[in-house]
Amino acid sequence: MATGLFYHSDCKDHITPDGHPEARDRLAVIFDRLNHPDFAPLTRISASPAPVERLALVHDDSYIQSVIDHIPKKDHYALDGDTYLSPRSLAAALGAVGATCQAIDQVMSGQLDNGFCAVRPPGHHAEPGRAMGFCLFNIIAIGAIYARNRHFRHRVAILDFDVHHGNGTQTVVARTKGLFYGSTHQSPLYPGTGHIHDRGEGVIVNVPLAAGSGSRAFRLSYRQRIFPALRDFNPDFILVSAGFDGHARDPLADLELTTADFSWLGDEIKQIAEEKCQGRMVSCLEGGYNLDILGENVAAYISALMR
């Protein structure tokens, strides 16, 4: 498999306050691990930033302008108790969106089989009209609408294995026919959304998991609930919100997953992509906050995509 690693140098320039879990060092540990010779076959692409107008595929014009207006000249500006702007935050977000859209373009053109976007800040909590949970703009949802509009993909699936529910992504899917959202997440946990009976215009499949559920319950959730629904949806493109904060050593949750779970999931999703949509899938980094194990978890997932 030809796998692309997409990034943009501005993503490291979104600066959060000292001690904040969503720190620039997250990307540093990922790239350090991917420098191993095992990942020499990865096609590495420094993407072009997206134009600011592309944010409007998902976000309200008033919200986009508010973010632009509040970019500080120095230090930080708090959008909420968890989410901050720094002088280069808009550039980082546009770099992340640009990397995601370029990955979609290259997978659709056949240049690559699949892609992983090592980008930040994360996005799946961002609602159309507000920031939430470290997230400024909903990168994966923008990618889904971009794939639909630019490449005429009429059944775009989003899978989200971050330990926190992607409330912003679900909002977009709930109002948009032709999209699928499947999420496993710890519950109860921030942001308190992702209920099993949630419905919308698009297809929504939530599997809330109790703290301490571990590998068996996690994998069964996909085998018994999410993967059958995904196959029934018959996607022509798959996007993945790849959050690694479900690992047992992550400080923000207690789902008790292992590195092997991320490798397993990458392999399973890749197989469904090959079965349903000629392997077309793109994954974007979301959570994962233990710097000692984040690089290894991402490497395990990407290794599965490369096989």
CB proximity list for 148: less than 8 A, separation 6 or greater: 154, 156, 178, 179
DSSP structural state of residue 17: P
- The one-letter amino acid at 81: G
DSSP structural state of residue 82: S
Give the CA angle between residues 244, 133, 13 to the nearest 5°. Answer: 80
Report whether 180 contacts 201 (CB < 8 A): no
Location of structure tokens 């949970």: 133
Question: 125, 164, 165, 247: which one is catalytic?
Answer: 125
- What token pair was written down for 211? 């703290």
Phi, psi of 237 (to 5 degrees): -160, 145
**3-state secondary structure at position 111:** coil
Q: Where are the beta strands (DSSP E) in 227-266?
A: 237-242
Rounded CA gap, 286 and 73, in Å? 26
Query: Is residue 125 among the annotated active site residues?
Result: yes
274 CB-contact burial (10 Å; exposed 0-12 / middle 13-18 / buried 19+): middle
Query: Which positions are annotated as active-site residues?
Result: 125
